[in-house]
């Protein structure tokens, strides 16, 4: 039995490896030197205007910093990769550092996110806070209280959880809480109308059928411009919400349909 089992296991491993190879390879979405391929969009400013040098590449990392601000002033920002995606896994390694910028909202302490299935930077209004998208919320703990990460937030959208349309804005995951400045790996698997969130390799939340919220002003503008209600593709962007954060890796693996 032992001599027969080893070849079978080898065949299974070989088949899985071939399947993975057919889906391509992980690639970095930034070159480690500058923001080539990325577009910042900060509230009150045009796409491409990186107010206060908010988004920058230093020491091979994308960093979100606020030393060019006097106070936050609700200047929510997003850094958009230049092309949309449909079926993929995106993986980021992130950590929160330092103190929140003066004037940032209380809920934004140690708070950032990866927006998926988003609108383009160019289609956002000048004073729009967030792109219409599904946000995979990244949160750090305060040192004592439980605070999950890998949650869903839904600016201008809704998602279906366990067969039911959920219209609340924040949907908590079942992740651990990560205190301090430790690095955390978030991976998001997006396959058309399905989104699954993983934190340090553990699945913590999933949803399906992301769709535009007809009651939301920003989403309604997209619908009026001809966008489909059901969202199956879109942009990826990283958030700026008033707390410094580092992204050590931003990688993507495109998947077969």
- What six digits make up the tokens of 153? 């937030």
Q: Name the maximum alpha-carbon separation found in the chain.
A: 71
Question: How high is the pLDDT of residue 231?
Answer: 97
Question: How high is the pLDDT of residue 249?
Answer: 97
Digitized pLDDT (tens) for each residue of the chain, 257 residues in all? 333 333 333 323 333 333 443 468 999 999 999 999 999 999 999 999 999 999 999 999 999 999 999 999 999 999 999 999 999 999 999 999 999 999 999 999 999 999 999 999 999 999 999 999 999 999 999 999 999 999 999 999 999 999 999 999 999 999 999 999 999 999 999 999 999 999 999 999 999 999 999 999 999 999 999 999 999 999 999 999 999 999 999 999 999 98
End-to-end CA distance of the chain: 38
CA distance 2 to 226: 61
Q: Where are the alpha helices (DSSP H) in the chain?
A: 2-22, 217-224
Please give the domain boundaries of the chain with CATH numbers for all domains.
27-254 (2.60.120.560)
CA distance 251 to 185: 11
For tokens 């997209």, the residue is: 222
């Amino acid at each position: 039995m032992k001599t027969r089992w080893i070849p079978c296991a080898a065949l299974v491993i070989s088949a899985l490896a071939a399947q993975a190879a057919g889906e391509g390879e992980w690639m970095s979405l930034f070159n480690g030197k500058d923001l080539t391929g990325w577009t910042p969009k900060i509230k009150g400013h045009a796409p491409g205007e990186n107010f206060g040098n908010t988004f920058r590449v230093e020491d091979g990392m994308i960093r979100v910093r606020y030393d060019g601000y006097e106070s936050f002033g609700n200047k929510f920002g997003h850094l958009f990769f230049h092309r949309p995606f449909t079926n993929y896994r995106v993986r980021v390694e992130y950590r929160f550092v330092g103190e929140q910028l003066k004037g940032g909202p209380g809920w934004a302490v140690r708070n950032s996110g990866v927006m998926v299935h988003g609108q383009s930077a160019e289609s956002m209004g000048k004073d729009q806070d967030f792109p219409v998208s599904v946000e995979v919320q990244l949160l750090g703990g305060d040192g004592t209280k439980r605070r999950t990460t890998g949650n869903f937030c839904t600016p201008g959208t809704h998602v279906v959880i366990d067969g039911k349309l959920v219209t609340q804005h924040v949907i908590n995951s079942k992740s651990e809480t990560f205190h301090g400045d430790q690095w955390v790996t978030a991976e998001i698997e997006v396959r058309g109308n399905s989104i699954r969130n993983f934190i340090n390799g553990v699945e913590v939340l999933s949803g399906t059928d992301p769709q535009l919220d007809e009651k939301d002003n920003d989403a309604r503008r997209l619908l009026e411009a001809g966008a489909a209600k059901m969202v199956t593709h879109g942009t990826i962007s990283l958030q700026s919400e008033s707390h410094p954060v580092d992204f050590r890796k931003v990688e993507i693996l495109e998947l077969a349909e």
